[in-house]
Amino acid sequence: MPKRINFFLIIIGLLILATGPAYFPGFTIYLFTYGMIMAVAALALNILLGYTGLMSFGHGMFIGSGGYTVALMMKYAGIHSFEILIPVSILISAGLAVLVGCFCTRQIEIYFSMLTLAFGELLFALCSKFYSFTGGTDGIRVKMPTLFGYIFSRGATDFYYFVLALFLLCTAAIWVICHSPFGMTIQAVRDNELRVGYLGLLVMKYRLIAFTISGAFTGLAGVLAVSLTGHAVPELFQVFTSISIVFMVILGGHTSFLGPVVGAMVFVFLQAWLKPLLFWQFFFGLSIIVLVIFLPGGVLGGVGIWARRVLTRRSS
């Protein structure tokens, strides 16, 4: 994606996000909020997918771990403040990632995908079964947490700006990580794990670290998601959540850094539009197939190619 266009689009995007609440209706703001939350999850997944070359079909488990940490801490420990809930959820999600990751990253890539899916479903099953503790399939209702005493009104402008701030923070953090020495190392692992071994590095170590970082950020997304929707449900752990995140990344383009953000926004709005349809799963599955076959670079990939073509045509 040509640098000029990139910069231009980012500025426009930021302007829209910053001033949105002034002219968009409440529901649109709700969708933007949700979109930014999912963008964090998508960026986190792309650390694993785009940069490390691993496709996890189980990232829903981190949305779930983040969300349920909030729900359970509220219900059993009476903790209602973001300043405690967020760090704790991130830690727990990271811990879960280490646990699951230790096992999954040992395996070859195909197994990795299968096993992450399996673990996600296992957690879904466990969550549904222990209803006395987790509320089972009904889930747990969650009140909006406070921030240093400040009380948010759910889905309204103040929460929107809180999420915006966190979103910008996370995006910056993930950007730094991806462009750091560690970021280049995981790309090397993605491109040729054999060579990485011959350089003297332990491939699994880097995959595990990437998985943990990815899980931690996704856990944060889970905290915010559950705070926004007000309801922690076992479905968060399920494969549909996980595949949705993968779809967002592919939709926006996994080869560019901001692709996942675009994909998440588009997906959230699309889903809101299509969910009421009776056979939305059909369109979901179909769009996955169409996307993978015809637009492998995703939206940003396609726009990038188009932009480059337009620019070179203009200059010739």
d(CA 162, CA 179): 26
User: Least CB distance from residue 256 to other proteins, whole Å?
Assistant: 12
d(CA 169, CA 159): 15
User: Least CB distance from residue 63 to other proteins, whole Å?
Assistant: 17
Site mask for other proteins (CB under 8 A), range 2-31, x = bound: ------------------------------
Tell me whether residue 75 or residue 106 sits nearer to other proteins (CB atom): 106
Tell me whether residue 141 or residue 179 sits nearer to other proteins (CB atom): 179
150 strand-pairing partners: 147
Tell me whether residue 197 or residue 230 sits nearer to other proteins (CB atom): 197
**Which element (helix H / strand E) includes 49?**
none
Q: Pick from 19, 137, 180, 312 the residue near other proteins by CB under 8 A.
A: 180
**CA distances from residue 49 to 64, 112, 149, 247, 314 in whole angstroms, order as listed:** 20, 12, 38, 11, 35
Closest-CA residue to 291 (of 241, 244, 238) = 244
User: Least CB distance from residue 76 to other proteins, whole Å?
Assistant: 21
User: Least CB distance from residue 163 to other proteins, whole Å?
Assistant: 24
Tell me whether residue 229 or residue 242 sits nearer to other proteins (CB atom): 242
Q: Pick from 76, 110, 149, 275 the residue near other proteins by CB under 8 A.
A: 110
What's the gap between Cα 43 and its chain centre? 6
Q: Pick from 25, 76, 108, 153 the residue near other proteins by CB under 8 A.
A: 108
**Which residues between 240 and 269 bind other proteins (CB under 8 A)?**
243, 246, 250
User: Least CB distance from residue 292 to other proteins, whole Å?
Assistant: 5
**Which residues between 276 and 295 bind other proteins (CB under 8 A)?**
279-282, 284-289, 292-293
Q: Is 172 in the site for other proteins (CB under 8 A)?
A: no
Q: Pick from 81, 187, 231, 270 the residue near other proteins by CB under 8 A.
A: 187
Q: Pick from 36, 39, 43, 55 the residue near other proteins by CB under 8 A.
A: 55
User: Least CB distance from residue 289 to other proteins, whole Å?
Assistant: 5
Q: What is the contact surface with other proteins in residues (CB under 8 A)? A: 49, 55, 57, 103, 106-111, 113-115, 117-118, 121-122, 125-126, 129, 176-177, 179-185, 187-188, 190-192, 194-195, 197-202, 206, 209, 238-239, 243, 246, 250, 279-282, 284-289, 292-293, 296
